[in-house]
Amino acid sequence: MCGIVGFLGGRGFGPGDSKTTVRKMALAIAYRGPDDAGDWTDDLRGIALGHRRLAILDLSAAGHQPMSSGSGRYVIVFNGEIYNHLDLREELEDTQRAPFWRGSSDTETLMAGFDAWGIQATIERAVGMFAFAVWDRQECQLTLARDRIGEKPLYYGWQGQGDEAAFVFGSELKGLREHPAFENNVDRGALTLQIRHGCVPAPYSIFEGIYKLEPGKMLTVSLERREPRIWAYWSGVEAAVNGAARGFAGTAEDAVEELEHLLSDAIRQQMLSDVPLGAFLSGGVDSSTIVALMQKQSSRPVKTFTIGFNESDFDEAKLAKAVSAHLGTEHTELYVTAREALDVIPRLPELYDEPFADSSQIPTFLVSQLARQHVTVSLSGDAGDELFCGYQRYRTAPDMWDKMTVLPASLRKLAASGIVGISPKRWNSMAGLMEPILPSSLRGVKVGDKLHKGAQLLSCQSRDEVYLHLMSQWNDPAALVIGGHQPPTLMTGNAPAFTGLDDVQRMMALDMITYLPDDILTKVDRAAMGVSLETRVPFLDHRVVEFAWRLPQSMKVRDGQTKWALRQVLYRHVPRAMIERPKQGFGVPITHWLRGELRDWAEALLDESRLRREGFFDPEMVRAKWQQHLSGEQNWHRQLWNVLMFQQWLEHQNASSIPLFTSPTADLAGMAG
């Protein structure tokens, strides 16, 4: 696990300049790799590569990067892990194509594969998470590649004008910003998408001319052919469509057996590490399954980590502790005060590098910080919901659409107008008067908020529009962003056909290729790498992903229970009663904080004169929602958090470019040449 940077052509190739520039770029992301640093430049060809290393496999100098292949043709900077690299070494040796091994790193294995099979054929064989840049000295061509689902980030783009334009790339935007050609212009289309979704979806970034390489794709570029050529070596859409079409021929018992086998093998490979390793444990189905299968294969107690909150509505630590006690893990928990959680907020712009507004970023950072005190690698249970139909929206969205379409569109519009004509606060008051006669399931529920959300759905014209609405925090963000527009995404203008998938499967597939990499995996990567912690996600072994798509929906949802097949695996190791409890979530009470502890901070960022001066948002719209939230008339915490995260990011961009997480021992003189 590391950080990579580099550039091709343009400014920065005078005597000694290329090394100085690429070292500055790498230093900006030093926390991604505090153990070692290196660079490689070829001024004649106009290429510079930089690397920061977090040593996980082969801690010796033999794992140093940039690394050349045995033939000398390829030079690589690599971020990630190839979990089956020992199998690849064996294949190379069996076919007499192995080089003289200098060490035991997976990067060296990858380079040997490039020499023997070529770049694409090698990564098609690889099981892992990665983002890398490879310079082909023979063809004078740069290749970028990103793992199948998008665990590891990779940004790229041309910056500057004319002969001074440079193709810059790297793990994080802050590295690219250190290049002298970087233009630093906010893309208002990308900002509009961030306001809608809480994150900037690939292939866009918050800066004009800079893009994210999408998961499962490769890119080549050269000074002779400056327009990047991009293609997919693996497709999440094809995995979903082909898996559903192929199906699973066995019984439900066969499916559970096969799933446990595949997950166990993925976990076995991901437990390979030369440094201490553990796992996040929330007590839910996904993380408990990962930890149970880890402990089954470990001769020592697995180190597990969770954080708890004193606010009981946001605390899963008790569930995690019970699962840990049953499995016999070495468990560490930390109860976090509201003050400790609030103290993370000023660090978010530097940590997340572009506006990012999933508030669970706060506890994710805190649990990563806790784990890093004990281990260097932590396994995670992310992606279980997307693969095994765990989200509530998979059930509610089709039901909503079926019920809505009973009424003509004109009546739905009329009903929506009637609902929103009464404020949520007033609806809640009326519901409070009726609470003694309501079913227990409806007591204490914010009826007004739910009615207003439902009213917004009534105007939807299709199932896809219902899904987009559920995945949006602002439904008309272009009206909020001055000069804003919404570029096409996989949810809108570029939506895949998903031939043969039903409505629920379409939502699951869209989540897998959008929400999962753009939100969930981004959240985890930045939070963990901000404290130099590597995270691994066994559910995202592509063999597990492809198998999950072969399972029929009846093996994912049965008798109203989600993630059925996955639960059956877990129940072999943990008592059912320990798991089947109401999910409490892994979040923070942003709604209340904005009306209390965070009020002054938010007020400063949402000041009307400031909004007018900066010129990104319609001040009247922002101020109206802010006042309605403060008064308790409506709950706008999600919408406001999106705006606040951009505002805080913008303030940080304008104030300083010094990384908050730079290692105190990192300096330019200490970088390897």
Rg, the chain, Cα only: 25
Q: 622 forms bridges with which residues in the sheet? A: none
Q: Which of 503, 271, 254, 221 is nearest to 389 (CA)?
A: 503
By DSSP bridging, strand 229-232 and strand 277-280 are: unpaired
Beta-carbon contacts of 355 under 8 Å, excluding residues fewer than 6 positions away, are 191, 194, 199, 200, 206, 642, 645, 646, 649
> What 3 state SS string does 435-503 have?
HHHCCHHHCCCCHHHHHHHHHHHCCCCCHHHHHHHHCCCCCCHHHHECCCCCCCCCCCCCCCCCCCCCH
Q: What is the amino acid identity at position 499?
A: T
Half-sphere exposure of 566 (CA within 13 A, CB side): 29
Q: Is 79 helix (H, G, I), strand (E, B) or coil?
A: strand
Question: How many CA within 13 A on the CB side of residue 430?
Answer: 10
Distant-in-sequence, close-in-space partners of 410: CB < 8 Å, separation ≥ 6:
none
How many CB atoms neighbour CB 224 within 10 A? 8
Return phi, psi of residue 51, to 5°: -145, 140
**Residue of 2, 199, 389, 460 with catalytic role:** 2
Q: Which tokens go with 393? A: 């929206």
Burial profile 518-545: b = 16 or more Cβ within 10 angstroms, e = fewer: bbbbbbbbbbbbbbbbbbbbbbbbbebb
Q: Residue 182, SS3? A: coil
Peptide bond into 99 cis (omega under 30): no
Question: What number of CA atoms fall less than 13 Å from residue 311's CA on the CB side?
Answer: 15
Q: At what angle do helices 85-94 and 106-117 cross, to 10 degrees?
A: 40
Continuous H helices in 48-143: 85-94, 106-117, 119-125
Q: Which residues pair with 145 in a beta bridge?
A: 132, 218
Three-state DSSP string of 493-520: CCCCCCCCCCHHHHHHHHHHHHHHHHHH
Cα–Cα dist 173/15, whole Å: 26
Can you say whether residue 652 is alpha, beta or left, with left for phi > 0 and alpha for psi between -120 and 50 degrees? alpha
Examine the residue annotation and report whether 199 is marked as an active-site residue of this protein. Answer: no
In whole angstroms, give the CA distance from residue 626 to residue 643.
Answer: 11
Q: Which residue has the tokens 């958090």?
A: 641
Angle between helix 252-270 and helix 542-550 axes, rounded to 10 deg: 170
499: buried, middle or exposed (CB in 10 Å: 19+, 13-18, 0-12)?
exposed
Query: If 0-12 CB within 10 Å is exposed, 13-18 middle and 19+ buried, where does residue 494 land?
Result: exposed
Give the pair of three-digit tokens for residue 12.
């920065």
C-alpha closest to that of 175 among 362, 308, 350, 343: 350
CA distance linking residue 574 with residue 294, whole number of Å: 13
Residues with a known catalytic role: 2
